[in-house]
């Protein structure tokens, strides 16, 4: 089978973002539906899927959306580890080397 494009997805707990960041992702996602938001953020049933490989400016876009530095740092650490999609999922595992938020 010929697959021309592959992606690496990190599935991590939503505890690796703040509750406020979840709200900010929701706002960016809603604006995206109107053509003004961050197109690479998608809502899932229990979290968020971020396709950071879709934007070279993903850090700036998240800071402009007022996502916390801790969440941006977590995403950056995963990107440095070779992941290009980040799936924040309510029931996923906690990753010890990433910042954790109780909410």
Residue, of 37 and 85, whose pLDDT is higher:
85
Q: What is the predicted pLDDT for the residue at 78?
A: 98
Q: What is the predicted pLDDT for the residue at 32?
A: 73
Residue 92 pLDDT greater than 80, yes or no: yes
- Burial of 28 from C-beta contacts in 10 A (0-12 / 13-18 / 19+): buried
Q: What is the predicted pLDDT for the residue at 38?
A: 78
pTM of the model: 0.90
Q: What is the predicted pLDDT for the residue at 93?
A: 96
Instruction: Give the C-alpha separation, 25 to 7, whole Å.
Output: 21
Closest among 64, 73, 31, 28 to 48, alpha carbons compared: 28
The rounded percent of the chain whose pLDDT value lies above 70 is 95
- Of 1-5, 8-12, 35-39, the range with the highest mean pLDDT is 8-12
Q: Which helix (H) or strand (E) holds 30?
A: helix 19-33
Please report, for the chain, the start and end positions of each structural domain, with discontinuous segments joined by +: 9-89
Provide φ and ψ at 42, rounded to 5°. -125, 140
């Amino acid at each position: 089978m010929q697959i021309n494009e592959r992606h690496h997805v990190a599935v991590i707990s939503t505890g690796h973002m703040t509750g406020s960041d979840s709200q900010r992702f929701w706002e960016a996602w809603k604006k995206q539906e109107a053509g003004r938001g961050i197109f690479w953020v998608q809502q899932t049933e229990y979290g968020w899927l971020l396709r950071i490989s879709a934007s070279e400016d993903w850090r700036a876009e998240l800071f402009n959306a007022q996502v916390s530095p801790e969440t941006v740092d977590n995403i950056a650490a995963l990107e440095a580890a070779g992941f290009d999609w980040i799936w924040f999922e309510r029931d996923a595992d906690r990753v010890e080397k990433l910042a954790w938020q109780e909410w």
